[in-house]
Structure 1
Amino acid sequence: MKIFSDSFSSIEKGLNYSALKQKTIANNIANADTPNYKSKDVSFKKVFDETLANELAAYRTDSRHFSFRSNESDPAVVTSRDLSFNQNGNSVDIDKEMSNLATNQIYYNALTDRMSGKFNSLTNVIKGGR
């Protein structure tokens, strides 16, 4: 019998992604005036593909069929090298970064609320519904 579902690990991965994105955005904002600094972003596609590969299970009738499992890997921080918004070669758009910061905060709050709800449900089960 499986007591904990995979949702805890999925929420944990989402929180790790959000924390890395927060650090990356903060680093971009801190370097907004640094000459030749190129803004960075966290690759969501890599995290999404990893999560999908770990969540999906497939029945393989032949060993030559593709496996749905992938190797564990961390989210990738990608540097944007083709953009330059300022005359000093800096590619940080402060308005975009502040918007990304607010979006990431909402995402993080949603994940923490979901995790809190999971723990409250677990506490309710342990107490016998009282």
Structure 2
Amino acid sequence: MAIMTALDKTLSFQEKALNLRTYRQQLLASNIANADTPNYKAVDIDFAKTLQQAQAGRGMSVDLTKTSPMHLDGNNTAMGDVKPMYRTSVQPSIDGNTVDSNIEQAQFSENALNYMATLQFVNGQFKDMQEALRGNN
């Protein structure tokens, strides 16, 4: 049982980081998909600040809003109190859309690389733990 507790503590940070990276990837993908939608406002999260809050025990959930009676009730408690922020538009468009495709695609790519790096780090931790349990040097 002590091994499981140690494993949980070891992977807790990476779990939170991966959950936030996944959520941020969804936000960025939505921004890119709505690049031509009039009056769409690009959103993002402050990853570092949100992760610090999660580590401080402030939870990570997302408030979901129903904009149609056809929508399902959304209680995403996995993310705690994550509040997406509107991205400041570098160059406003005539139709009110604040998505800058170049910025969104760069942020999307950077977030995907960081996600993969975290996965590789977790994979390395698992390998190290397996070797420790086997008694290999």
Fold match (TM-score > 0.5): yes
Matches within 5 A, 1:1-130: 2-3=2-3, 4=6, 6-44=9-47, 45-51=49-55, 53=56, 70-73=57-60, 74=80, 75-80=82-87, 83=89, 85-129=92-136
The answer for the alignment partner of 2:77 in structure 1 is: none
Deviation, structure 1 residue 85: 2.4
Q: Which moved more, 1:40-49 or 1:11-20?
A: 40-49
User: Which structure has the bigger radius of gyration?
Assistant: 1
Contact 1:11 1:111 in 2 (8 A): yes
Aligned-pair identity (%)? 31
Q: Aligned pair count? A: 112
Instruction: From the two aligned structures, give the one with the greater strand fraction.
Output: 2
After TM superposition, the score normalised by the length of structure 1 is: 0.76
Contact 2:24 2:45 in 1 (8 A): yes
What is the CA–CA distance in structure 2 between the aligned matches of 1:46 and 1:15, rounded to whole Å?
12
Any unmatched runs of 5+ in structure 1?
A: 54-69
Contact 1:37 1:89 in 2 (8 A): yes
Q: Deviation per CA, 1:36-70: give whole Å up to 9, x if none.
A: 0000102322332332x2xxxxxxxxxxxxxxxx4
Q: Name the SS for the 2:44 alignment partner.
A: strand
C-alpha RMSD of the superposition: 2.0
Contact 1:18 1:104 in 2 (8 A): yes
After TM superposition, the score normalised by the length of structure 2 is: 0.72
Q: One-letter code of the match for 2:37?
A: T
Any unmatched runs of 5+ in structure 2?
A: 61-79
